[in-house]
Every structure is written in structure tokens, then in C-alpha cells.
Amino acid sequence: MLFNSSVFAIFLCIVFCLYWLVFKQTKQQNVLLLLASLFFYGWWDWRFLSLICFSSVLDFAIGLALQNTQIQSKRKWLLITSIVVNIGLLFTFKYYNFFVESFITVFQTFGINLNIQTLSIILPLGISFYTFQTLSYTIDVYKRVFEPTKDIIAFMAYISFFPQLVAGPIERASNLLPQFFKKRTFDKTFALEGLKIMLWGFFKKIVIADGISVLIDPIFKSPEQYNGATLAVAGMLFAVQIYADFSGYSEIAIGTARLFAFRLMKNFNYPYFASSIIEFWKRWHISLTSWFKDYIYIPLGGNRYGLQKQIINTCIIFIISGIWHGANITFILWGIAHAFFFIPGIFLRKKIYAIPAFVNSILLIGKIFYTNCIVILLWFLFRAESMKDVTIIFSKIFSSNIFHQSVEFPVYIYILTCIVFITEWFGRTYDFAIVGIANKAPRAIRWGVYYILIYTILYYFETPLQYIYFQF
């Protein structure tokens, strides 16, 4: 079920009314949220409900077993079981065919033909997200930083919580699970903030992201038919699209959760205002970046064993990040390329001398511009459908082809994009720009903006388009 669909609007209204008007006890609300979440997920393909239920029950049982044994060797085997099963399922559905095909290709270069069959399977929606969520639970219980729950309904509701189920934020049990045990009362102010966040998220998704998708998808599908200038503009628009699409989804998820008195973590912190690649990754997909840091980077040693080890660990994290995003060599190269530009920042973190304020402001603008140039350039690796397309795109944008006239894109898409980034620039000191700015604006202006946003969303709403991160 897509957020940007009329079906979701009906679903949300029904669940909201039942939640606050009928099921007023905490345990009753948890049962409702679990059933609603399973219905939400099953709407896409009911067959994969068994997969998410299996992962949830497995890690619930392992969590209790970890608490009930003090034998360290047994505890390690329980943790290994959770990791192997969860990663094994993820590998089978998401990566098996990729590695088999790559294996076959490598041997074919040496004239050896292997008869290995690939699997005809569908990638379960959101499997990367809920797998990481269940793994964080068992790892935290193993490390004794979190007490396992004995309430399987609350646990399964935490894993399958529909606002953030299929594309995050990837919530930690320490933040979200305790909220299922607290008595929840309707807070009008909190819910209204949620609606404002949702409204901004829908605007970014339906008006900006979907509007750009229609324009640039044909270009990336056949890059050989377009000149370098067109591809360069399409790349910049894709940078806007993926941000509007994914941050829009996260904001709808966060806003929806607030309607039910839940607080989800912030997943984006205005990443295109970052002044370095290091800062960009502190602002982009925060829940995933922090997950990699806490559960892979730090266990590998982090930056505790010298600069060389820190660089190696950083490379490992970015390679894993590339693989996590998709079963394609382009994603792996995207991760490696980010590591290449990330690592120099490790050497340049310390300021050597004080800089006058006005000079620092100019330098900041230059750093933001440079960072965005790098990020946009690397988005080509992320968006290209094959290495052949990558070669075509880069050969054209790094040639005289770049000076040719590009395809003319509608002016409105540039205007709407500017509105988004201007709004977020002036609201960048708040967690959510739309809420911070709205709270300071006069009532008449505030409601005028709301009506304009609603009208624009309805005007551009046509056939719902899938979120980009659903494929991951």
C-alpha cells in the first residue's frame, strides 16, 4: 500500500478512528496496530507476511533465550543464529541472483561455462529495513543494553509498525519499543504537527519527486539518445528527486506515527546544506548511517586503532552501504566512490587557525557547492541501470557534449524545487522546517500556505508512483 494513494487515505482514517474511539486500552491499541500493519504490508503481497512474521517470532524467542542464559558460548550461538537466519533470508531474496550471475560472468571470461540456476523470486518489500530493525534488537539484548520484552504483540507491532515498515526510519528497539507500553493519550498539538509534517512530505513526494520522475526516467532509460547537457541537468534533477522522494516518505511516516502518539527518529537533516561529504552522511538517511556506525563500524574497531584501521573500516562501511542499496555493481561503485571522497575529510577535520566570520561564510558557501557537485556526480552511479549506461553518461558529460543545448524541462519544476529548498534553508534550525516556520507565521498566512500545498498536491496527483527506496 502506497502512502500516496487514495487507499491509504481510507485505511488511515479507519485505523485512526478505531484507535482513539474504540480501542482505548494500550494492549488493545497494540493489537489494532499489529493487525493494521500486517494488513498494510499484505496489501502489496500477502504471501510475504509469513516472512516478516517468521523473522519477528524468531528474534522475539532469541531475545528471551538470551535473557534466560548466562552461558556466554550459548549466548553467542543464539546471536549467530539470529544474524545468519536474518542475513540469510535477505541474501537469498535480494542478492542470490546477483552473486550467481556475477560468478558466472567471471568464469565465462576464462572460457568456463557454469550451469548454475538463478532463482525466480520477488524481492519482498522493505526486507532490508525490517531485517536491520530485528537485528538491532537481538544485538542490543545480547550486549545487555536493552531488556527483551515478553509481550509478543508489542514486539511484532514494533517490527511491523506500518508508518515506517517498508522504508524506515530504521528504528531502534530502545526508542520505539518502549512507546508500545506507555499509555497513549491524544495530543491535539502533537497530532497537528504530524499533519503538517505529512503535508510537507506529500508535497515533496507527489509534486516534486513524481513530477521529476516523469521527466527524467526516459532519459536514464536511454542515455545514449541524449547529449551531455541534458544528462547533466537530468542528474541534478535526480538529486532533487531522490531527496524529495525519500525524505518525503520519511516525513509522511513520522507525521503518521504522531497521529497515533508515537515519536519516530528524524531521518534527514537537510543533507544538501552539508559542507563536506562527512557532514552529508551525518544528515542523509540518518537511521541507516547510525545503524552501520553502531553495529558494524564500532565493532570493527572504529577509529580506536589508528588512522590506517579507521580508513579500512570506513571503506568496509561504504562498500556494505553500496551493497545494501542494491544488487548491482553500480551501487557498489557508488559506495566506494563516496569512501574515496569521505576519507580525505578525516585528515581535514581540525581547524588550524581562526578565520574571520565573513570569510568563513564565503568558504561555507563554496564548501556546500563543492559537496553538492560531488554528491550529484555520484548520484549518476546510483541512478544508472548498468555499467554500460555509466560509461555513456560520464563520456558525454565530461566532453564538449556538455556545452550543447539541453532538452528544455518545464520551468515549473525549477520553481517548485526552489520553493522546497528556500523553505528548508530558512527552517533549517528546526527539526522540520514546515513546523518551525508555521509556528512563527501569522494565522492567515499559515492557513493560506496549507491550502496552497493541499491544492497543489491534489492538482498534480495522478497515478501513484512507487517510492524509490521500496526497491531496497
Q: How far apart, in whole angstroms, are the C-alpha atoms of residue 288 and residue 294?
A: 10
Cell 528497539, located at residue: 173
Place of cell 553538492: 372
Catalytic residue from among 285, 325, 338, 404? 325
**What is the Cα–Cα distance from 396 to 401, expressed in whole angstroms?**
6
> Are 235 and 407 spatial neighbours (Cβ–Cβ below 8 Å)?
no
CB-based contact 149:155 (threshold 8 Å): yes
**Catalytic-residue membership of 325:** yes
Rounded CA separation 94/455 (Å): 39
In angstroms, the CA 202 to CA 209 distance is 10
Least Cα distance to 251 among 264, 262, 241 occurs for 264
CA distances for 193 relative to 12, 221, 254, 256, angstroms = 17, 39, 10, 10
DSSP state of 386: S
Taking the C-alpha atoms of residue 408 and residue 411, their distance in angstroms, rounded to an integer, is 8
Which residues are catalytically annotated? 325
